[in-house]
Structure 1
Amino acid sequence: MTTTVHFLENSVKKPKPNADQIAFGKHFTDHMFVMDYETGKGWFDPRIVPYEPITLDPAAMIFHYGQTVFEGLKAYRTKEDRILLFRPEENFKRLNLSSERLSIPEIDQNLALDCLKELLEVEKDWVPTKEGNSLYIRPFVIATEPNLSLAPSQTYQFIIILSPVGSYYKEGIQPVRIHVEEEYTRAVRGGTGRAKTAGNYAAAYKAQEKATKEGYSQVLWLDGVEKKYIEEVGSMNVFFKVNGEVITPELNGSILEGITRKSIIEVLKDWNVPVKERKISLEELYDAYSKGQVEEAFGTGTAAVISPVGELNWGEKKMIFNDGQIGDLSQRLYDTLTGIQTGEIEDPYNWTVEVK
């Protein structure tokens, strides 16, 4: 690596959280990575510093125009005490795709990965040892220029913070109940749906509140134009196994290109399981369900890897998949991906990256 990352050690070390009581996103490590950007100068001053509050001008453009992107990935500790990342280059590739959509300058992907590795080397003791636990990694970019003009910022910060997290399924994989959202829209083609940006998630809160009140775990998002075609489930990509074939909505500009989604598709193809990326309407799904052809449904994402869908509520129509239990294919996919991520099984795809 040609760029020198300066290191300022935190003299006050935090106690590690109890391995059995780690809440998601509540605990943070001793250090964080920061790098600055100025128009005409580019990205500069990469540094690892003590984890601390960020000081910004009240007029910083992130507060007013929401110019920000982020990513989420994990570091896993193997039984041999190695630390592995899962396809991190895909995360930084997607970070740049999100940045391009929001007029944020891109970051050299190799540089970003090298900087992450250096941060993890400093914080390696924070990677949990308990089975099922991991170290969540949150890279993000914020617009920092103090300016209320409606134009892209001229200055930014790229920051990486780390958070130890517990197992998503503390009591085993439990299929979730999903409510079909027909009033609110997550994203539309030509909008920011394919970008991982803060506003997409804040815009989803209202629908999630409604679903939670009605006893559902997540919402199923439909396309924003016809309110007809399935797009995502909560903040995850979604798959359906119908009559032996796995179907997932095609990427259309409003759907986030999940890295777990991409990995699932590649694994299914490797297993010679028929898989198609295409439009699928609720009507088509319900028709197949009525004929007994929908065998499994599941969401995919970094946090859960696989989240089985046990029930889908569409107005007066309810669909119960696989008797509300996780399906054989969902379980096999979950075991395979988590096995690769944690080094439990061989990685035939060269997806894992070891932190030296």
Structure 2
Amino acid sequence: MTKTHEIVIDKVKESKINSIDFSNLTFGKTFTDHMLECTWRDGEWHTAEIKPYGPIQVEPSCKVFHYGQAIFEGMKAFKDGEGDVFLFRPEDNWIRFNESAKRLAMPEVPKEVFMEGLKKLVNLDKEWVRYGEGLSLYLRPFMIASENGVAAAPGTEYKFMIIMSPAFAYYKGDVRVIIASEFSRAADGGVGYAKAAGNYAASFYPNNLALEEGYQQIIWTDAASHEYLEEAGTMNIFVRIGDKLLTAPNNDRILNGVTRRSIMQMAKDHGITVEERRVSVKELTAAANDGSLKEIFGTGTAAVIVPIKGYKHEDFKFELPTLESSYATLLMGALKDIQYNRAEDQHGWRVKI
């Protein structure tokens, strides 16, 4: 056991990496040799530990099971052609993680625990980061209320953990969506802007209904009127009308996506006009009917960019045109070039391990 900057490291005796088929990965099913765990108790964070990946022991009365105090982040590490490993905008994830923690009455995680723990963990398992188009290491920091007891109050003990999973493609095949006119993802004053576990659980039932109709995801609309586009499944949403790229503005219902902000900057770097404003379903349908609707795509860490091939809203159906030169392809390529260290990082987003 070695202790470095308050992080205790216990290495596995033998790696399981040689048993993994990296050409046949299912997203989020395979995990690396190590994980990080740090406990908040008695009003303070205790020593962080990096140890072999494995089960954690909790009691049935653990508060996360009863009151849903659980938050997470999604991040990635990338390897370039020289074998160097990079994180992408990790400090943005740390900031957002603590915004989520505050909203769910959970303790904020210190920067030295989150950032240094993340770097040491990735460095320890860096052989799991494979080089190749689409290959990455998906990083999942999360925190749960680990106190025992069923009193309806915030926990007094929490576990912060990081696990890591080698990843390839998230979505496969064409993606078509239903625009929500009944169910809502989030409401004013709620936790929609936080990466709270319950946000995603609440979306599973309406998404299953969409799947039964042959659609892979839902474009969520505002809860008050269902008139304005907000998010696309687990992703932020972009719409191209004419030569303009439109995206919903941040509010307390919409996740402040790191990939979203990156794509907006990439678009501006390429001279594309970007507008952050409300986009109504009526405007979308009018653009579909007059031929000015060129693209719809979702953005997120796991998927990066997912082009949407078609949508349905109530009785209206529309198939997006096939473009020789799409914004989605251009911007995904530009972002990946930065992530894989193939292009200059003029915004300082890469962090070398």
Normalized against structure 1, the TM-score is what?
0.94
Which residue does 1:330 correspond to in 2? 328
Aligned to 1:22: 25
Letter in 2 for 1:263: S
Aligned length: 350
Q: Letter of the 1:38 partner, please give it.
A: R
Separation in 2, partners of 1:49, 1:94: 25
The 5-angstrom pairing of residues 27-66 of structure 1 reads 27-40=30-43, 42-66=44-68
Deviation at 1:2, TM superposition (A): 8.0
Counterpart in 2 of 1:313?
312
| Deviation >6 Å, runs of 4+ | none
Contact (CA 8 Å) 2:37, 2:48: kept in 1 or not?
A: yes
Q: 1:217 aligns to what?
A: 216
1:40-62 Cα deviation digits (max 9, x unpaired):
3x111111011110101211110
> How far is 1:75 from its partner?
0.7
Give 1:107's aligned residue: 109
Q: Is the 8 A contact 1:233 1:299 kept in 2?
A: yes
Give the deviation of 1:175 after TM superposition: 4.6
Deviation at 1:326? 7.5
Asked if 2 retains the 8 angstrom alpha-carbon contact of 1:308 and 1:326, the reply is no
Amino acid at match of 1:53: P
Give, in angstroms, the shift of residue 99 of structure 1: 0.5
- Which of residues 161, 164, 169 in structure 1 aligns to 2:163? 161
Mapped to 2, the partners of 1:154 and 1:345 lie a distance apart of: 46
Change over 3 Å in CA distance of 1:86–1:201 after alignment to 2: same
Distance 1:7 1:110, change over 3 A: closer
Letter in 2 for 1:54: I
The residue aligned with 2:342 is: 344
1:133-282 alignment to 2 at 5 Å? 133-168=135-170, 175-282=174-281
Is contact 1:218-1:233 (8 Å) kept?
yes
Q: What is the TM-score with the length of structure 2 in the denominator?
A: 0.95
Displacement of 1:38: 1.4
TM-superposed deviation, 1:154:
0.6
Cα-to-partner distance string for 1:71-90 (whole Å, 9 max, x where unaligned): 01111111110001110111
Once superposed, what is the RMSD of the aligned Cα atoms?
Answer: 1.7
> What is the percent sequence identity of the aligned residues?
40
1:169: how far off?
A: 6.5
How far residue 164 of structure 1 moved from its aligned partner, in angstroms, is 0.7
What per-residue deviation string (whole Å, max 9, x for no partner) do you get for residues 155-207 of structure 1? 1010000111123477xxx5521112222111112111000011011100111
**CA distance, structure 2, for counterparts of residue 39 and residue 63 of structure 1:** 21
Match of 2:284 in 1: 285
Structure 1 runs not aligned, ≥5 long: none
Unaligned runs of 5+ in 2: none
Q: Return the offset for 1:3.
A: 3.2
CA distance in 2, matches of 1:348, 1:30: 34
Q: Structure 2 CA distance, aligned partners of 1:238 and 1:165?
A: 23
Quick check: 2:71–2:97 contact (8 Å CA) kept in 1? yes
For the Cα contact (< 8 Å) 2:17–2:32, is it kept in 1? no
Name the structure 1 match of 2:13: 11
Displacement of 1:273 = 1.6
Matched AA of 2:49: R
